[in-house]
């Protein structure tokens, strides 16, 4: 896979025109969900390059990132003349770009696709990097492939349509990027005001965050080595997220990642002496902006079982990315069941 650089747009229409080029509009398939159909599609729907494009809409929400939705999209493509030279445009947040990228990567053994991210979380996480996937049998992103899009377009004005919870959800991934990169980046991100969002400052931080992810992906496109650093916070985080859906009290992905970061930085402190001052700073950020996930000691076994099914595991051991300091990461780390329960004890004590 060659490296794909995300394009930060100031004019989304001009960016789409350039990305689509001379591709016949009748051979373009645009995937949206309920929300992006109403709030985002009107901004590009009247473009001449899309005048005959096919529109596919699926219900919003991560619970719809499943095989049933995939089959629905595959069927639409087959019944409406899509071929190996067709183009998909995925207009939406991480759910849409994940499932749309997977559909495009598997239909006719692969067609080109463009991601237009409409959420902060999607922009800094799912839209770039070439990961595609769907949830399966109750497990997060259990099925998927690596396949880079033709282009990734980021238009930060879309973020102004988001509620504060979705802004904070995306920002959690930016916090993760800062932690794996440098103390200077951590200082900028950790002092950003998530009560009164300054979108001009946010745009600058988004550009930096995306560049950090691209810096990692360029070194390891298919997650054989250093790209595993992007999994920081996600072993505990995915367990919290899956647990929340299993018991019908779903949480946003970024909130689960933030809680997972707190757990995994405590594990980092236990195993590598990660500085307590940064752990305490993250604890304060989490409690101020994200609250705390509700569970009790009776749920430990369920959370542990969910971690054993994490796709990052390469053996019977549960795999973690940990930090010995900000910017100093330790991939392919494991923890015993007792250590994981100790982390959960720490979390419940906060």
Give the CA diameter of the chain.
60
Return the pLDDT at 274.
Answer: 98
CA dihedral 211, 256, 193, 155 (to 10 degrees): 40
Beta bridge partners of 28: 87
133's tokens: 């996937």
Question: In the chain, where are the structural domains located?
Answer: 7-161, 164-349
For residue 143, the tally of other CB atoms under 10 A from its CB is 17
Q: What's phi and psi for 192, nearest 5 deg?
A: -70, 140
Sign of the alpha-carbon torsion through 162, 165, 167, 173:
negative
Q: What CATH architecture does domain 164-349 belong to?
A: Up-down Bundle (1.20)
The 3-state DSSP class for residue 10 equals: coil
Helices (H), the chain: 12-20, 34-39, 67-79, 94-106, 120-121, 164-181, 183-190, 199-219, 234-246, 253-272, 276-289, 300-308, 337-349
Report pLDDT for 270.
97
d(CA 283, CA 23): 49
What gap in Å lies between CA 96 and CA 173, rounded to an integer?
18
> What 3-state class would DSSP assign to 236?
helix
- Predicted confidence at residue 139, as pLDDT, reads 84
Give backbone dihedrals phi and psi of 336, rounded to 5 degrees, phi first.
Answer: -75, 165
Any residues with CB less than 8 A from the CB of 75 and at least 6 apart, and which? none
Question: Kind of pairing, strands 28-33 and 87-92?
Answer: parallel
How much is the pLDDT for 284? 97
Mean pLDDT by 10 residues, the chain (350 residues): 72 96 97 95 96 97 94 98 97 95 97 96 87 90 92 93 95 98 97 95 94 91 91 96 92 96 98 98 97 96 92 78 97 95 97
The confidence score (pLDDT) of residue 311 equals: 67
Per-residue confidence (pLDDT) for residue 141, from 0 to 100: 86
Q: For 228, what's the count of Cα atoms within 13 Å in the CB-facing half-sphere?
A: 18
**DSSP bridge partners of 123:** none
- Helices and strands, counts by H and E, the chain: 13, 10
Neighbouring CB atoms inside 10 A of 77's CB total 21
> 7-161: which CATH topology?
Rossmann fold (3.40.50)
| Angle at CA of residue 234, ends 272 and 261, nearest 5° | 55
| Structure tokens given for 11 | 């004019």
């Amino acid at each position: 896979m060659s490296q794909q650089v995300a394009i930060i747009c100031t004019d989304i229409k001009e960016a789409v025109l350039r990305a689509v080029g001379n591709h016949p509009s009748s051979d373009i398939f645009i995937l949206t969900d309920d929300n992006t159909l109403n709030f985002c599609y009107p901004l590009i729907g009247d473009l001449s390059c899309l005048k005959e494009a096919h529109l596919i809409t699926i219900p919003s929400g991560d619970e719809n990132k499943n095989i049933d939705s995939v089959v629905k999209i595959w069927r639409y493509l087959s019944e409406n003349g899509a071929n190996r030279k067709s183009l998909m445009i995925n207009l939406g947040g991480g759910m849409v770009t994940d499932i749309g990228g997977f559909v495009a990567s598997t239909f006719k053994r692969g067609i080109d696709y463009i991601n237009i991210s409409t959420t902060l979380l999607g922009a800094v996480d799912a839209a770039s990097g070439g990961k595609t996937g769907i949830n399966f049998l109750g497990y997060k992103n259990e099925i998927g492939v690596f396949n880079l899009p033709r282009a990734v377009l980021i238009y930060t004005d879309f973020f102004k349509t988001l509620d504060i919870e979705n802004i904070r959800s995306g920002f959690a991934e930016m916090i993760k990027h800062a932690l794996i990169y440098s103390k200077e980046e951590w200082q900028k991100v950790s002092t950003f005001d998530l009560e009164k969002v300054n979108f001009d400052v946010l745009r600058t931080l988004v550009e930096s965050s995306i560049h950090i992810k691209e810096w990692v992906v360029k070194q390891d496109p298919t997650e054989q080595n250093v790209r595993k650093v992007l999994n920081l916070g996600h072993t505990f985080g995915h367990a919290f997220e899956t647990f929340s859906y299993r018991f019908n009290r779903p949480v946003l992905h970024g909130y689960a990642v933030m809680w997972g970061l707190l757990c995994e930085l405590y594990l980092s402190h236990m195993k590598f002496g990660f500085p307590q001052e940064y752990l305490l700073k993250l604890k304060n950020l989490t409690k101020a902006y994200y609250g705390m996930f509700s569970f009790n000691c009776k749920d430990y076994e369920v959370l542990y079982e969910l971690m054993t099914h994490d796709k990052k595991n390469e053996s019977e051991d549960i795999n973690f990315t940990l930090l010995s300091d900000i910017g100093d990461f330790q991939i392919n780390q494991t923890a015993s069941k007792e250590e994981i329960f100790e982390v959960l004890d720490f979390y419940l004590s906060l």
